Structure 1
């Protein structure tokens, strides 16, 4: 009889957002090229292009922002690094919801006591509450 491997749950940046960042980079570069006679416009467009390219590069290098298996979690840390967090080090998984004016934001918080990992819906590709519920049930095995 063979051992069946435990399932691995993965949450990643949606491909549509990566495409949007790449398109934004191209648009900002085109704006800079078409406005070479306006130095301030070129600086602003170049800055925006660099930022959009950096965000796109991060999505290419580390598309999976969070994964879970029987041993624990793997979370993106820094620009594109990862950190493995065993389940016994996870103290709390919760969703922090903030409302400001008409905007509502949610962040998934994974607290290890020493480090708090914050992930948004844009990092995970699905609502934070859904991920928190899946992690809690996966952790407890129910």
Structure 2
């Protein structure tokens, strides 16, 4: 989502909250189906579904995880807030790649020295490498 001021946003794919809510409903259905009179199983299924639904609500309330403009970066902070990081505060923009279970995971790391902000593919809606390249291109030369 580019606009004329040179800002860009990366957000959670719209299908992800729907999948999380569907998973929550499925967990409750499975809990009801397999509880067999055991309240602990049902309560555990409901609690897990509530956490998953809360995670989906966060995606709906604050879908934008990362935004950039000429003044700096805006990153998700807390449950649904945002924090502005001026370019002078950003020390490094890197992509961490790690092989796990035969797959390689990528995480965008934005280091301010005081804090480290991590974003995966499902936070950004695209690969972390693409986002890192765009951020480096927009970042003012120091």
Q: Tell me how far 1:33 sits from its aligned partner.
A: 3.8
Which runs of no fewer than 5 residues in structure 1 stay unpaired? Answer: none
Aligned to 1:52: 52
Q: Deviations over 1:24-83 (max 9, x none)?
A: 112222333444723232022112201211110110111000000010000001221110
How many pairs align? 138
Shifted more, 46-55 versus 34-43: the winner is: 34-43
Which runs of no fewer than 5 residues in structure 2 stay unpaired? Answer: none
TM-score, normalised to structure 1, is 0.89
Q: CA RMSD in A?
A: 1.8
Aligned to 1:132: 132
Conservation of the 8 A alpha-carbon contact between 1:33 and 1:42:
yes
Aligned to 1:27: 26
Partner Cα distance (1:60, 1:71) in 2: 26
Q: Tell me how far 1:5 sits from its aligned partner.
A: 4.7
Q: Tell me how far 1:8 sits from its aligned partner.
A: 1.2
Conservation of the 8 A alpha-carbon contact between 1:36 and 1:42:
no
Aligned to 1:7: 6
TM-score, normalised to structure 2, is 0.89
Q: Does 1:79 align with 2:96?
A: no
Shifted more, 67-76 versus 53-62: the winner is: 53-62
